[in-house]
């Protein structure tokens, strides 16, 4: 698979935009996931520190020229677009395709993230965008080097092309397609998180994950 080695992200000062992460990106938030290990709830709507996980993600993406939520309740804040994947429940790649269609073709870059990343920050988004360089995409990797496929920044045209190629190559279209298959042919920069504070890519799949996030945020506030 094409790509570069992991690039470590350091302190908050190093994450601040310095001109390379310029205006002109769109944001796609995938919010259709059900918390099957959390009682089957609408997972992105779960509250963390008084705000839903989805809205915390949208806060981190406030610098985008346009933001669109794919899936979920549809009750989005003013100024945020909403769409659904086709078919509903068709999985993350179908949701990515719907999000790309909704943002249009004016934005060169697209940040695509899950709606259950309550620790995502604007600085982390800038870090991903700054590391795009000439690559097709930039993804955070966890401490074990695993790619966080729903926490990345992309050249929108490259991602659209990969969506189209994947759809042509599958009898069932995009329904049920995996993110790994979507990004397999793309040139991806892997970005590790070595900065202070909790990892921005941390997603909440279980009640234990939620407890951990709440503990992190409480400790961060106390400090």
* CATH code at position 206: 3.90.550.10
- Rounded to the nearest 10 degrees, the angle between the axes of helix 92-103 and helix 156-168 is 130
User: By CB neighbour count within 10 A (0-12 exposed, 13-18 middle, 19+ buried), where does 14 fall?
Assistant: middle
pLDDT digits (tens, 9 = 90+) for 18-53: 233 445 899 999 998 654 544 456 889 999 999 999
At residue 218 the predicted structure's pLDDT band, cuts being 50, 70 and 90, is confident
pLDDT digits (tens, 9 = 90+) for 130-174: 999 889 999 999 999 999 999 999 999 999 999 999 999 999 899
- The DSSP code for 65 is S
- Whether residue 2 is contained in a domain is answered as no
pLDDT for position 172: 86
* Structural domain boundaries enclosing 160: 7-222
Please state the domain count of the chain.
Answer: 1
For the whole model, what pTM was predicted?
0.86
pLDDT for position 199: 94
User: By CB neighbour count within 10 A (0-12 exposed, 13-18 middle, 19+ buried), where does 168 fall?
Assistant: exposed
Rounded CA separation 194/96 (Å):
28
- Whether residue 202 is contained in a domain is answered as yes
């Amino acid at each position: 698979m094409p790509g570069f080695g992991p690039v470590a992200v350091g302190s908050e000062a190093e994450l601040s935009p310095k001109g390379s992460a310029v205006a002109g990106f769109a944001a796609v938030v995938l919010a259709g996931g059900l918390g099957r290990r959390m009682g089957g709830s609408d997972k992105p709507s779960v509250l963390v520190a008084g705000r839903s996980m989805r809205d915390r993600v949208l806060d981190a993406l406030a610098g985008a020229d346009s933001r669109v939520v794919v899936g979920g309740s549809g009750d989005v804040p003013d100024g945020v677009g909403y769409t659904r994947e086709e078919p509903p429940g068709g999985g993350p790649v179908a949701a990515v395709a719907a999000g790309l269609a909704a943002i249009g073709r004016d934005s060169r870059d697209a940040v695509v993230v899950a709606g259950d990343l309550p620790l995502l920050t604007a600085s982390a988004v800038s870090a991903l965008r700054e590391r795009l360089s000439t690559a097709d995409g930039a993804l955070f990797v966890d401490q074990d080097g695993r790619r966080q496929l729903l926490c990345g920044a992309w050249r929108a045209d490259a991602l659209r092309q990969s969506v189209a190629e994947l759809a042509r190559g599958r009898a069932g279209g995009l329904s049920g397609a995996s993110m790994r298959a979507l990004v397999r042919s793309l040139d991806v920069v892997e970005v590790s998180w070595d900065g202070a504070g909790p990892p921005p890519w941390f997603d909440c799949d279980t009640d234990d994950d939620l407890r951990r996030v709440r503990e992190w945020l409480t400790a961060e506030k106390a400090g």
